[in-house]
Amino acid sequence: MKRALYPGSFDPITLGHIDVIQRGTQVLDEIIVAVAHNDAKQGLFSTDERLEMIRQALGSKKGVTVVKLDGLLADYARHQGIKIILRGLRAVSDFEFEFQMALANRRLFPQLETIYLTPKEEYSFISSRIVKEIARLGGDVSQFVPPVVSARLKAKFTAA
Ligand code: ADP
């Protein structure tokens, strides 16, 4: 049984993340999307809002579950008996950080392997940060995120 954790901030989830999850389901038996909860790093959306948007966007996709991640990823993986971390690689700019993380996680839990999937080219420039910036300035983000996220972003910035 190949079970993998797909950790991230997902603030908010984008079509790039969803593409990675979709591709992951072709090669893995189960993907656990782990939404990092960090009190010190406040995002635009609360952890619960992010979880809710991911669950709505994914619907009941077979083999995919969504959890809140408190604390260290390597500890969570060890406790759950999960030995694969899934991450997305968009461009060379992602590489350095991903490389550091993979090696640090493996030091913390030696059986942990990190695997990478690349998204469809048209999603390769999308990041949560860019989506938030476009939405904040009143732009239409519907081609970058699922409808639930587009609506939430609009509501957030209209209310602000
Ligand atoms: P983090 O803050 O931990 O980098 P993100 O939510 O930004 O979390 O991303 C989680 C994972 O998804 C990372 O591996 C990131 O590289 C990947 N990712 C983000 N956006 C995309 C995208 N457009 N295509 C493919 N992978 C992506």
- pLDDT tens digit sequence for 88-138: 999 888 899 999 999 999 999 999 999 999 999 999 999 999 999 999 999
- Is 38 a residue whose pLDDT tops 90? no
Side chain identity at residue 153, one-letter code: L
Ligand 1 atom closest to Cα of residue 118: 25
| In the chain, % of residues over pLDDT 70 | 99
Q: State if residue 15 touches ligand 1 by the CB under 6 angstroms criterion.
A: no
Domains located in the chain, CATH noted:
3-124 (3.40.50.620)
Residue nearest atom 3 of ligand 1, based on CA coordinates = 8
Q: According to the model, what pLDDT value does residue 84 have?
A: 98
Tell me what the mean pLDDT of segment 32-60 comes to.
93
160 has pLDDT over 70: no
Q: What are phi and psi of 159, to 5 degrees?
A: -70, -30
Give the mean pLDDT of the chain: 95
Helix (H) / strand (E) element for 33: namely strand 30-37
Q: What pLDDT was estimated at residue 13?
A: 98
Extract long-range pairs of 140-144: CB within 8 Å, 24+ residues apart: 143/15, 144/14, 144/15, 144/16
How distant, in Å, are the alpha carbons of 1, 137, 151, 154, 159 from that of 36?
24, 26, 22, 23, 26
Residue with the nearest Cα to atom 20 of ligand 1? 127
Q: Which pLDDT does position 39 carry in this prediction? A: 74
Q: Is the CB of 127 under 6 A from ligand 1?
A: yes
Closest CA to 119 of 33, 17, 26, 32: 17
Output the six-digit token pair for 135.
């939405």
**Residue that the structure tokens 């476009």 belong to:** 134
Closest CA to 126 of 16, 6, 40, 3: 16
More confident: 85 or 42? 85
Cα of 17 to ligand 1 centre, how many Å?
6
- Do 94 and 117 meet the contact criterion of CB atoms below 8 Å apart? no
